[in-house]
């Protein structure tokens, strides 16, 4: 394979040669001819100087490289869908250039890379902006075409691009994760020539890209398995039957809300409208597809033409460049332009109904839910030119944008914002098994820090760390029936080793009660062996079927689980409360997240135990509550089952009283959701892997060499104070890039050092959580920063507490309950409780019914992790006064306590 790393010349010819070689790398040299005019403008920068951007007109550079990029993209068959979309190519080259142009230190950057490379450049004899653009093009083209590049080329690109974060920036520009970075299809093939849809598209000469991917049953799976770049969208598809009005295939953007009531209205259906999900058999009969495989392209299978295709107007908004939908099979997708989708339908004689749908999502406080579809302007006959404003679509790169920023605002789309934050801050990488995520060092360090804190605390309670096996036999797991009941579907089993079946399947631990307690039975003989207090740091697996979310709900997660045995109930209860108090402090003092501690109701407690206590957090961004951690009094249930007996002081045999308590990596997700903002992560100092970052502002006068002693002295002072600090002296990045990078990663304090600071023996301190800027004397800076970190920690907690308290309301009558939930509140109500457990289920169902009715929806997915129904969160320890004669808000029976309700995760 050609390596385009040494074209030592400064002429236009050399750049042409380089681009040709580049074409060779991606295997298209035969099919491409470079228009010399295109190249000429591309090399107008003349790759002579190190700093082409400062010496030449960057507009022509962009134009030239856009031209080259287009030529390449057009010629790479796999890039064919760039073909019809030259504007997009132009945009990403522009953006790529903007990334570089925004770097006012191209010169130093180039010099440093050059010396590192020994002139191993891609274009010309010195590293220039051209190299960077070409590297980006190469990265994208090679990824898209699936070409593996040689080590040398990769090394060269890596050096040219500085580091992987610029490659990622390139990825943001348009690396087609759908086709290349997602997992390879588990069962699919890459040859789609026999696929009926592909055949049809080819017959119609409609350019498309069809690619295999991990089998994805639902649109949620697709969003996770096949993330798409800005400007591209998957579709969500629903096949409806209405007895009176017939069959409807509805295809919308994933975030759009399919509200049947409003849909019927918008379609002008009269009389009784009852749109119901059509059966699997009907789906096969009418559209020739199985569940999970339907998409707008399958409408061509409807020979009788008795299915109405309803399309989301948002699919045709200006910012949608490509629509991805299944070609009759859900381990593949076909991407075509919106215009080509219309052409395909027209060729097939299908006239779609194009309707404006609202965006799925919950109403923000004070705002009505935006989820009612309306007939489109096009349908109302108002003409085509007026495209609807697409509120919640991903932004595409605009000129001057670095595309290193978050693409979603927290208020706009909370789930997408969260995903943006955890990826851009380098906390999470996605993995090819649904519900499993990679914890990158930035987030793992937080878990490390938590472990250090927690170990220190439990040591004071005489709890010892231990480690038990990962696997558990079926007999053991099922020994305590109440314990596994209800959890059984979540247990993952190992059934094979190599090719052979295991004699008996073994489970992967979902929790360790049944793994540990037989050993407890051995270890505990006499009252002298008590209390026994152990803690385990480990991973556990629970095969969830609800929408997975990194940290909050993953199939494998990390936790600590504490298990203790005591001689008396009273002692065990003290332990339960001590563990819960640690959890409260972990949230409030370490993560700066306020929580409500309390008892779980009988319905919500751990069935294997006697009583469950919990700390409940609130996430203002979604208006939902989340269980933070639980501490259980297990009573003697497990003791009886596992013979955990001891001789008491009188020589009598007694059953031990036990506790178990757990805190998981979910807490990290809660912290991100509570504190993050539109720039990215905002970290409370106590959990921040880095608490202060020193960024020098380099200039001709103030070189790295000059600033080094000054910054290193500050660093030493910070470290001497025990502050986790770093001096960012990477020469390939300019200060602006570094500010953005560390802000996204949530570092609480940035210390800027510029020429004026050096002159005045000071430093500028910028606080992440509120953006405040202050000048501090260098003398005593370490001590001042230590105080500052404490006050940041406190201020972040206060802010989160205020946001939570504003959404904690008391309601005494049913009529106010659902409206309060709709306003994203946690709701405290008087409660009959005790033996009147059925009322809890009643509230859940009734609140679901009323909430759905208020939204004009018929039902919700039974497996949704974010139901609109209310749940009891806890009976708070701290109870408001309950006047004599107060009635339960639901049953009207005498109230015995206040209970906290909310929609929860």
Binding site residues, ligand 87F, CB under 6 A: 483-484, 487, 490-491, 510-511, 513, 542, 561, 606, 630, 632, 660-662
Cα–Cα nearest to 400, from 50, 741, 59, 55: 59
Report, in Å, the least distance between residue 376 CB and ligand 87F.
47
**φ/ψ of residue 430, rounded to 5:** -80, 160
Report, in Å, the least distance between residue 491 CB and ligand 87F.
5
Does the N-terminal peptide bond of residue 531 adopt cis geometry, omega within 30 degrees of 0?
Answer: yes
Report, in Å, the least distance between residue 632 CB and ligand 87F.
6
Largest Cα–Cα distance of the chain, in whole Å? 100
Q: Strand 657-664 to strand 556-566: parallel, antiparallel, or no bridges (unpaired)?
A: antiparallel
Looking at beta carbons only, is 485 or 779 nearer to ligand 87F?
485
- The CA-based angle 577-583-584, given to 5 degrees, is 85
Report, in Å, the least distance between residue 828 CB and ligand 87F.
24
Looking at beta carbons only, is 352 or 510 nearer to ligand 87F?
510
- Residue for token pair 């007895």: 243
Residues near 168 by Cβ (< 8 Å), separated by ≥ 6? none
Residues near 603 by Cβ (< 8 Å), separated by ≥ 6? 837, 840, 841, 872
Looking at beta carbons only, is 154 or 508 nearer to ligand 87F?
508
Chain residue at closest Cβ approach to ligand 87F: 662
Looking at beta carbons only, is 48 or 451 nearer to ligand 87F?
451
Report, in Å, the least distance between residue 474 CB and ligand 87F.
12
CA dist 293 and 663 (Å) reads 39
Report, in Å, the least distance between residue 813 CB and ligand 87F.
34
Overall size of the chain counted in residues: 905
Is the Cβ–Cβ distance between 704 and 694 less than 8 Å? no
Report, in Å, the least distance between residue 511 CB and ligand 87F.
4
CA dist 81 and 458 (Å) reads 58
Structure tokens at 94: 């522009």
Looking at beta carbons only, is 490 or 643 nearer to ligand 87F?
490
Report, in Å, the least distance between residue 554 CB and ligand 87F.
13
**φ/ψ of residue 117, rounded to 5:** -80, -20
Looking at beta carbons only, is 510 or 531 nearer to ligand 87F?
510
Looking at beta carbons only, is 510 or 669 nearer to ligand 87F?
510
Looking at beta carbons only, is 221 or 513 nearer to ligand 87F?
513
Cα atoms in the Cβ-side hemisphere of radius 13 Å centred on 71 = 25
The helix (H) or strand (E) run that includes residue 156 is: helix 151-160
**φ/ψ of residue 167, rounded to 5:** -60, -40
Cα–Cα nearest to 22, from 110, 136, 99, 120: 136
User: Between the CA of residue 90 and those of 36, 330, 820, what are the distances in Å?
Assistant: 19, 32, 49
Looking at beta carbons only, is 129 or 516 nearer to ligand 87F?
516
Looking at beta carbons only, is 209 or 666 nearer to ligand 87F?
666
Is the Cβ–Cβ distance between 225 and 284 less than 8 Å? no
Report, in Å, the least distance between residue 661 CB and ligand 87F.
5
Q: In Å, how far from its chain's centre is CA 145?
A: 27
Report, in Å, the least distance between residue 483 CB and ligand 87F.
5
Report, in Å, the least distance between residue 783 CB and ligand 87F.
41
Cα–Cα nearest to 354, from 442, 444, 428, 252: 252
Q: In Å, how far from its chain's centre is CA 399?
A: 26
The helix (H) or strand (E) run that includes residue 719 is: helix 704-720
Looking at beta carbons only, is 245 or 542 nearer to ligand 87F?
542
Compute the radius of gyration of the chain from its Cα atoms: 31
Cα–Cα nearest to 230, from 83, 408, 396: 396
Is the Cβ–Cβ distance between 882 and 829 less than 8 Å? no
CA dist 112 and 163 (Å) reads 13
Report, in Å, the least distance between residue 517 CB and ligand 87F.
11
Structure tokens at 506: 């073994």
- Helix, strand or coil for residue 300? helix
Q: Strand 307-312 to strand 353-356: parallel, antiparallel, or no bridges (unpaired)?
A: parallel
Report, in Å, the least distance between residue 560 CB and ligand 87F.
8
Q: Where are the alpha helices (DSSP H) in 148-267?
A: 151-160, 164-174, 196-203, 219-225, 260-266
Is the Cβ–Cβ distance between 288 and 326 less than 8 Å? no
CA dist 889 and 832 (Å) reads 8
Report, in Å, the least distance between residue 866 CB and ligand 87F.
19
Report, in Å, the least distance between residue 600 CB and ligand 87F.
10
Looking at beta carbons only, is 311 or 477 nearer to ligand 87F?
477
Looking at beta carbons only, is 431 or 487 nearer to ligand 87F?
487
Looking at beta carbons only, is 419 or 511 nearer to ligand 87F?
511
Looking at beta carbons only, is 537 or 704 nearer to ligand 87F?
537
Looking at beta carbons only, is 660 or 872 nearer to ligand 87F?
660
Looking at beta carbons only, is 540 or 792 nearer to ligand 87F?
540
Structure tokens at 570: 């009273």
Report, in Å, the least distance between residue 666 CB and ligand 87F.
12
Report, in Å, the least distance between residue 634 CB and ligand 87F.
9
- Residue for token pair 């009959």: 832
For residues 405, 407, 412 and 417, what is the CA-based torsion angle, rounded to 10 degrees? -80
């Amino acid at each position: 394979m050609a390596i385009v790393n040494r074209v030592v010349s400064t002429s236009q010819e050399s750049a042409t040669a380089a681009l040709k070689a580049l074409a060779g790398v991606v295997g298209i040299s035969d099919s491409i001819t470079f228009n010399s005019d295109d190249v000429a403008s591309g090399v107008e920068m003349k790759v002579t100087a190190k700093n082409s951007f400062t010496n030449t007109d960057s507009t022509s550079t962009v134009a030239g490289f856009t031209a080259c990029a287009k030529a390449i993209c057009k010629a790479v068959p796999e890039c064919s869908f760039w073909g019809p979309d030259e504007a997009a190519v132009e945009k990403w080259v522009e953006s790529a250039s903007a990334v570089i142009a925004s770097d006012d230190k191209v010169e130093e950057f180039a010099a440093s890379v050059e010396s590192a490379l020994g002139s191993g450049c891609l274009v010309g004899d010195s590293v220039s902006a051209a190299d960077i653009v070409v590297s980006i093009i190469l990265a994208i083209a090679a990824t898209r075409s699936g070409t593996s590049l040689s080590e040398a080329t990769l090394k060269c690109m890596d050096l040219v691009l500085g580091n992987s974060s610029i490659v990622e920036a390139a990825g943001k520009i348009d690396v087609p994760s759908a086709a290349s970075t997602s997992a390879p299809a588990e069962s699919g093939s890459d040859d789609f020539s026999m696929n009926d849809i592909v055949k049809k598209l080819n017959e119609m000469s409609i350019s498309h890209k069809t690619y295999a991917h991990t089998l994805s049953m639902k649109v949620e799976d697709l969003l996770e398995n096949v993330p798409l770049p800005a400007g591209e969208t998957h579709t969500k598809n629903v096949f409806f039957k209405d007895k009176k009005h017939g069959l409807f295939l509805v295809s919308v953007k994933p975030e759009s809300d399919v509200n049947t009531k409003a849909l019927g209205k918008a379609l002008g259906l009269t009389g009784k409208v009852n749109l119901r999900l059509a059966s699997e058999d009907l789906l096969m009969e009418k559209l020739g597809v199985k569940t999970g495989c339907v998409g707008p392209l399958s409408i061509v299978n409807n020979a009788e033409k008795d299915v109405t295709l309803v399309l989301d107007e948002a699919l045709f908004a200006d910012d949608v460049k490509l629509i991805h939908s299944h070609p009759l099979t859900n381990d593949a997708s076909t991407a075509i332009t919106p215009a080509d989708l219309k052409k395909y339908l027209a060729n097939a004689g299908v006239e779609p109904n194009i309707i404006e749908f609202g965006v799925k999502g919950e109403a923000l406080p004070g705002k009505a839910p935006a989820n009612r579809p309306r007939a489109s302007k096009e349908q109302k006959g108002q003409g085509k030119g007026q495209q609807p404003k697409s509120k919640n679509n991903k932004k595409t790169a605009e000129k001057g944008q670095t595309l290193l920023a978050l693409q979603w605002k927290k208020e706009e789309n909370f789930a997408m914002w969260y995903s943006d934050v955890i990826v851009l801050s380098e906390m999470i990488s996605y993995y090819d098994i649904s519900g499993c995520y990679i914890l990158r060092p930035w987030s793992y360090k937080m878990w490390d820090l938590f472990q250090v804190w927690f170990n220190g605390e439990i040591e004071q309670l005489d709890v010892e760390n231990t480690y038990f096996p990962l696997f558990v036999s079926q007999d053991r797991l099922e020994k305590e029936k109440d314990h596994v009941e209800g959890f059984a579907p979540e247990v993952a089993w190992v059934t094979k080793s190599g090719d052979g079946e295991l004699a008996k399947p073994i489970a992967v631990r979902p929790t360790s009660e049944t793994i540990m307690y037989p050993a407890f039975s051995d270890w505990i003989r006499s009252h002298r062996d008590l209390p026994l207090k152990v803690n385990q740091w480990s991973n556990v697996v629970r095969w969830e079927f609800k929408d997975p979310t990194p940290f909050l709900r993953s199939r494998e997660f990390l936790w600590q689980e504490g298990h203790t045995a005591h001689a008396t109930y009273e002692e065990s209860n003290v332990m339960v409360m001590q563990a819960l108090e640690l959890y409260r402090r972990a949230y409030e003092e370490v993560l700066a997240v306020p929580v409500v501690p309390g008892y779980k109701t009988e319905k919500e407690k751990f069935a294997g135990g006697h009583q469950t206590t919990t700390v409940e957090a609130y996430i203002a961004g979604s208006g939902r509550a989340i269980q933070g951690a639980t501490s259980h009094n297990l009573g003697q249930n497990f003791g009886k089952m596992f013979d955990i007996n001891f001789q008491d002081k009188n020589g009598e045999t007694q059953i031990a009283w036990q506790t178990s308590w757990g805190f998981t990596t979910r807490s990290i997700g809660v912290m991100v959701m509570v504190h993050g903002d539109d720039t990215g992560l905002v970290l409370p100092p106590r959990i921040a892997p880095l608490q202060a970052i020193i960024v020098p502002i380099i200039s001709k006068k103030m070189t790295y060499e000059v600033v080094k002693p000054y910054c290193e002295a500050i660093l030493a002072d910070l470290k001497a104070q025990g502050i986790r600090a770093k001096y960012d002296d990477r020469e390939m990045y300019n200060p602006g890039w570094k500010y953005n990078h560390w802000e996204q990663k949530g570092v609480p304090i940035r210390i800027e050092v510029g020429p004026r600071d050096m002159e005045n023996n000071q430093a500028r301190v910028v606080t992440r959580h509120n953006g405040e800027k202050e000048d501090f004397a260098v003398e005593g800076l370490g001590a001042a920063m230590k105080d500052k970190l404490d006050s940041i920690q406190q201020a972040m907690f206060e802010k989160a507490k205020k946001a939570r308290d504003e959404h904690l309301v008391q309601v005494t009558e049913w009529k106010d309950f659902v409206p309060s939930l709709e306003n994203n509140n946690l709701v405290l109500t008087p409660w009959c409780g005790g033996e009147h457990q059925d009322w809890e289920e009643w509230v859940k169902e009734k609140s679901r019914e009323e909430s759905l009715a208020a939204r004009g929806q018929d039902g919700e997915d039974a497996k949704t992790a974010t139901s609109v129904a209310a749940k009891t969160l806890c009976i708070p320890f701290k109870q408001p006064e309950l006047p004599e004669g107060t009635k339960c808000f639901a049953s009207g029976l005498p109230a015995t306590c206040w209970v906290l309700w909310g929609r929860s995760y």
